[in-house]
A and B are shown apart, each in its own frame.
Chain A
Amino acid sequence: MKQSILVITISRIMLPFVFLYGFYIILHGDLSPGGGFQGGAILATGFLLTYFIDDERRVDLNRLMRREKLLFLAILLTGSLSLITRGEPFTNFLSPDFPVEIRRIFFLLLNVLLSLKVALGLTAIVETFLEEGQG
């Protein structure tokens, strides 16, 4: 795929804004519409813009997959951490006695982990499609 100079320039301008919007969606996931899955998909879209800028760049698939597995383990651990701290599984690991601002840490942590996992997964799918075939 040979890109025109127009597409490359517009992609370079758009790239930081896409990432900024993605991180806004993730970090405000518990206050405004959005969250881990949506923000991760937007991050993946921003990452795909880099293929428009330089179509020769490749990412190592093995590294992507390994990180995705580690992130999935981290998500599982974060979800079941409340079994130790509160005695009931799969809920917030900070007890309701804390103020709301501190209990937000759980949502922030889980949103960021989920979004990174979704972004890595979608990038790996597109990367597989890019590497398939000789053309």
Chain B
Amino acid sequence: MSRRFVAILVPFGLMILFVRFAQLIPELTTPQFTNAKDYIMERGYAETGAKNLVSAIYLDYRLFDSLFEAGILLITVVGIVFMAKSDEDVY
């Protein structure tokens, strides 16, 4: 029982520490990292033609990332089938 409480408390402590350290960095607390957001809000529809800006990002600006995100799912499926089926009938 005590082990479980340690396992719950340690991530909480790490989380609080991480937030404290993040607040010490001035660049993270002051809003100046808004260039990409403003750019996409202004010109996303004109450049890509998608009203849903999330779709505009993951199918146009960051298409390279989402292609291999699909590849990661394929590798996951292949790994699960390979581990579950020890027979030779899956190729």
Contacts and interface: CB of A to CB of B under 8 A. Distances in A.
Interface string A115-135: 001100100110011011000
Interface of B is mostly: helix
A121 B77 contact: yes
A105 to B, nearest CB: 10
Contact of A31 (B51, B67, B84): B51
A72 B71 contact: yes
Nearest to A102: B49
A19 B60 CA distance: 27
Residue among A76, A107, A132 with the highest chain B CB neighbour number at 10 A? A107
Interface of A is mostly: helix
Contacts of A118: 70, 73
The interface size bin for chain B is: 20 to 34
Contacts of B51: 30-32
A96 B47 contact: yes
A29 interface: yes
Interface in A93-112: 96, 100, 103-104, 106-107, 110-111
B70 A125 contact: no
A91 interface: yes
